[in-house]
Amino acid sequence: MVVYFSGTGNSKYVAERIAGSLQEKLLCMNEQIKSGDTGTVKTGENLVVVVPTYAWRIPRVVSDWIGQTEFVGAKNVWYVMSCGSGIGGADIYNRKLSEKKGLKHMGTAQIIMPENYIAMFNAPDVEKAKKIVAAAGPDIAKAVLAIKHGEKLLSKSGLGASFESGLVNDIFYAAFVKANAFRADQTCTGCGKCAEACPFGLIVKTEGNPESKCIACGICAKACPMDVLEVVEE
């Protein structure tokens, strides 16, 4: 089975390509995370986790969900991470997660996709994005071949990679992952599509500080039919 989390579509695209090539079932974990569903998931022996890269690691909300969910039948797990530039030492932490789940760790592959963390970076124009996606094809195919033959995926390692996925990850979450980076302008129609799409149900009037759960995944911006959600630099 291929399970994936996707905010703006990069990881969804990669997951669909992998699942199609392997003829495996595909499960989007977005709804499970939103509803708090950590029940059992029947996977078969091979589990492929496709996720975006947040500060050189898999999103914390994803690792939390995986840690709490029982994957019935799973023995081996591969991680495939979409990213704008690199995944650092993410495999170190993925291995720990695999061991926690009692699964054989089969490595982590990085797939370069169009940059989409608009809270910090500019997304490429359409033509450049198409070229990046096309260039990702061979890397996706390489990952598929390894998984099909039960081979391990090779991952980046070293002191620099460990630093990126360790200390830098902690600093990144504390400093940059926040809901107030996103604002809607005056042309918002109040259709509620952003609220429906949010994996945490944060875009509602509630007591307390729900913004603390925001992971800046960008799902709300992608869901907006009027394209009025923008990033505000503070």
Residue 211 is given by DSSP the state G
Query: Is there a contact between 62 and 28 (Cβ–Cβ < 8 Å)?
Result: no
For the domain 179-227, what is the CATH code? 3.30.70
Which ranges of the chain would DSSP assign to H, the alpha helix?
10-22, 30-35, 60-68, 90-101, 126-148, 159-163, 169-176, 193-197, 219-223
Dihedral through CA 216, CA 194, CA 182, CA 115, nearest 10? Answer: 50
Average pLDDT, stretch 23-38? 91
Q: Do strands 182-184 and 229-231 pair parallel, antiparallel, or not at all (unpaired)?
A: antiparallel
Mean pLDDT, the chain, integer: 83
**DSSP letter, residue 86:** -
Mean pLDDT, range 76-85, rounded to an integer: 95
Q: Flag the least confident range among 75-84, 93-102, 172-181.
A: 172-181
pLDDT tens across 155-208, in order? 765 545 555 545 555 556 555 555 555 667 778 888 888 888 887 666 654 444
- Delimit the domains of the chain by residue range: 2-171, 179-227
The residues, any chain, with a CB within 8 Å of residue 28's CB and separated by 6 or more, are 3, 4, 5, 6, 12
pLDDT band (50, 70, 90) for residue 71: very high
- Whether 2-171 shares its CATH topology with 179-227 is answered no
CATH topology of domain 2-171: Rossmann fold (3.40.50)
Q: How many CB atoms lie within 10 A of CB 76?
A: 17
